[in-house]
A and B are shown apart, each in its own frame.
Chain A
Amino acid sequence: MNIPVTQATAATAVAAATDSPRTAVSNPPVQPMASNLGQAAVVRSSAGGPVAEQPTALTKVAKLIDISKCIGCKACQSACIEWNDTHPAIGENVGLYENPHDLTDQMFTLMRFAEYDNPDTGDFEWLIRKDGCMHCEDPGCLKACPAPGAIVQYSNGIVDFIHENCIGCGYCISGCPFDIPRMNPVEHKVYKCTLCSDRVAVGQGPACAKACPTQAITFGSKDDMTTLAAERIEDLKGRGYANAGLYDPQGVGGTHVMYVLQHADKPSLYNDLPDDPSISGVVANWKGATKPVGLAAVGLAAAGAAAMALFSRGNRVTVEDEREAQLLVRDEMDSVPGSTGRDV
């Protein structure tokens, strides 16, 4: 016997896909649904890729991660794997609860655990942070990406990778202030959290937010999530967390994934969450430049330097350019934990 979900009386009707979903608490549809995330909703595209002239005006969305409610259960990781059909490797224990040990091209989100002896209270705290793409309003990855249309931003704020356009150069990795994207060394394409763009496109919230047992992860409009965060911050202040606050860093224009932190004055306590993230000057400048800029003039970092060199030399790529770029990317990749291919 098959009991259709419509038998239930609950008001969990599928949100109309004409605008962004306002919750992750709903049962997905199985009938064909129109996607509202396509070219028509693209507001930014990497390397001059196509954007919509009059993009669909979708409500800005956000995922709010309330660390004070997070029990570090990894349901978000599990739901992410199942929804996205990824296959993280079965590794080993290296003395940590983090498994896989880092984000990988097969693991778009990761619980990171930090043990903290709070000097102010004398209490021990276990700070557990769900790491993953922050979906920056001003995305460093997109700005760094030299492949047209490989990284796009939709009008609801989601930053998504269009893998057909990805050239596997890895510049997005160095462009990301949060160290999120990871290279698939077999496909030579970079992967990260999509904010479940395929779900959001049909009115569903991200799989992690739906699964999260304690609703430490919630999803909705950015306005609603900001309001909810304020409510939670007030509660935390009442419990003695005087510095509780919202993490929505303005250095990247704000983010579409935000945290409620017990210690918002010290984001770095949470496994090195950047205190004040911003897009590196290298990346910020090269996309905005209207004319070639000399390498020396801006003191570029290695990866950025290669990109800039390519951009500034017109239409021809020399063998030397290619070799140089390979070397630079290789250096960059080797410095990124978890992108060494061991999890494939």
Chain B
Amino acid sequence: MNIDLSRRGFLKLAGAGVAATSLGALGFGEAEAAELAHVRDFKLVATTETRNTCPYCSVACGIIIYAKPGDDGKRRVTHIEGDADHPVNRGTLCPKGAALKDFVNAENRLTQPMIRKPGATAFEPITWEDALDRIARALKDDRDANFLQTNEAGVPVNRWTTTGFLAASATTNETAYLTYKVVRSMGIVGFDNQARV
């Protein structure tokens, strides 16, 4: 590697006379004066704070999300820190929780619906309208074709086994409950969540 000692640095260095204690004695003119000691500007100034919960493990640590508007005007997360008021984590966070900002802002966040067609080697964009319509059409067709209304004994069983649904493990109760309603109302029994594993 090449450490390039700058000429200016050397001049400063050379000017540092033994036992000299003041800038003047060092031979620096006004323009050459060392930058005065300072710390970095406090970076959370003028951010908004929002209470939230870490989405990783079941300790569910309290966090405070600091955000401010990005270039597109949308509020963007700039920092995340443990909530010192939270009785469980008391402001602490683990190595995952402490890096949550880079989960929210990860390069691999999905930003638009995509479709991979049979046999294709890549995803291609699709609009929400088209994606949702395709899904609804496929569900309706599969349900109508494969829904089992009664068993051999004539008992109403009303189940649908050819479509399945794996639910998330970090969504809210509210999302989970809505998901439950939708999936159950259709008669889907191939229903499971991360608790299984």
Interface residues of A (CB under 8 A from B): 2-5, 7-10, 12, 24-33, 35, 37-39, 41-42, 45, 47-51, 73-75, 77-79, 81-83, 85, 146-150, 152, 154, 160, 162, 164-165, 167-170, 183, 185, 188, 194, 197-202, 207, 210-215, 289-292, 310-317, 321-322, 325-326, 329-330, 333-334, 340-341
Contact = CB atoms under 8 A, between A and B. Distances in A.
B37 A78 contact: no
B84 A12 contact: yes
B160 interface: no
Contacts of A41: 37
Given A75-B95, A162-B35, A185-B1, A210 B50 contact: no
A130 to B, nearest CB: 12
A77 B101 contact: no
B136 interface: no
16 contacts: A5-B51, A32-B45, A38-B39, A73-B94, A78-B94, A78-B96, A82-B80, A147-B13, A154-B37, A160-B37, A162-B36, A164-B35, A197-B40, A289-B19, A290-B18, A315-B15
B42 interface: yes
Contacts of B98: 75, 78-79, 82, 207, 211
Interface in B75-130: 79-85, 89-99, 101-102
Contacts of A32: 42, 45-46
A50 B34 contact: yes
Contacts of A289: 18-19
Contact of B39 (A9, A194, A213, A334): A194
Contacts of B38: 35, 37-39, 162
B49 A4 contact: yes
B22 interface: yes
B166 interface: no
Main secondary structure of the interface of A (DSSP, over half): loop
A210 B37 contact: no
B131 interface: no
A165 B149 CA distance: 80
Contacts of A311: 16-18
B54 to A, nearest CB: 12
A199 B42 contact: yes
B9 A168 contact: yes
Nearest to A290: B19
Interface of B: 1-6, 8-23, 25-28, 34-51, 64, 66, 79-85, 89-99, 101-102
Nearest to A194: B39
Given A3-B50, A12-B84, A82-B102, A38 B41 contact: no
Contact of B42 (A10, A33, A48, A185): A33
Contact of A78 (B15, B42, B85, B99): B99
Given A12-B85, A73-B94, A82-B99, A198 B14 contact: no
A10 B46 contact: no
A315 B79 CA distance: 47
B66 A149 contact: no
Given A165-B35, A290-B18, A30 B41 contact: no
A289 B18 CA distance: 7
Contacts of B10: 167, 310, 317, 321-322, 325
A48 B26 contact: yes
Contacts of A29: 42, 44-45
A109 to B, nearest CB: 12
A169 B3 contact: yes
A159 B36 CA distance: 14
B129 to A, nearest CB: 29
B95 A77 contact: yes
A10 B62 CA distance: 13
B39 A35 contact: yes
A26 B45 CA distance: 16
Given A75-B92, A290-B18, A30 B35 contact: no
Contact of A168 (B5, B23, B36): B5
B46 A215 contact: no
A149 B35 CA distance: 7
A48 B4 contact: no
Contact of A47 (B16, B39, B40, B47): B16
Contacts of B66: 30
A316 B91 contact: no
A78 B89 CA distance: 16
A202 B42 contact: yes
Contacts of B13: 47, 146-147, 167, 169, 310, 317
A74 B11 CA distance: 42
A35 B42 contact: yes
Nearest to A77: B95
Max count, chain A CB within 10 A of own CB: residue among B5, B41, B66, B102: B5
Contacts of A210: 81-82, 84, 91-92
Contacts of A35: 38-39, 42
